[in-house]
Amino acid sequence: MNEKQKRKPTRPAQRTLIMRLIGGGYLVYLAYQMVRELTVSSGTRNLIQLSFTVLFFTTGILLAGWSIKKLMLREFLHPGEIESEAEQETGNDQNS
């Protein structure tokens, strides 16, 4: 097997997940604000605005949902934990 195939995916830090959750929530908020502006614009501007509203909403929901899932399942690096230490612990558990 290749070296890249053997390695497990890295776990993000807890603060990274929290920042992604905040960013996803903000994108959903922006999409909500843009919906109210759709009635004001018309033509090409309306189509562009609608496209970005859908993009912001979809990206925000996916980002926030993924972050919530990782936080609830506790699939993150705890503060002060180093990725190599976490891999050693899981490696020792598998060898036992």
Domain assignment present for 68: yes
pLDDT, residue 6, reads 60
- Determine the structural domain holding residue 47 and report its residue range: 11-79
Structural domains in the chain (count):
1
Residue 77 main-chain phi, psi, to 5 deg? -80, 125
- Measure CA 56 to chain center: 13
pLDDT of 83 reads: 59
pLDDT at position 51: 94
Residue 77's nearest CA partner among 59, 65, 89 is: 89
pLDDT above 90 (res 62):
yes
6: in domain:
no
Evaluate if pTM is beyond 0.75: no
Average pLDDT, the chain: 80
Lowest mean pLDDT among 35-39, 64-68, 76-80, 82-86: 82-86
Is position 92 within any domain? no
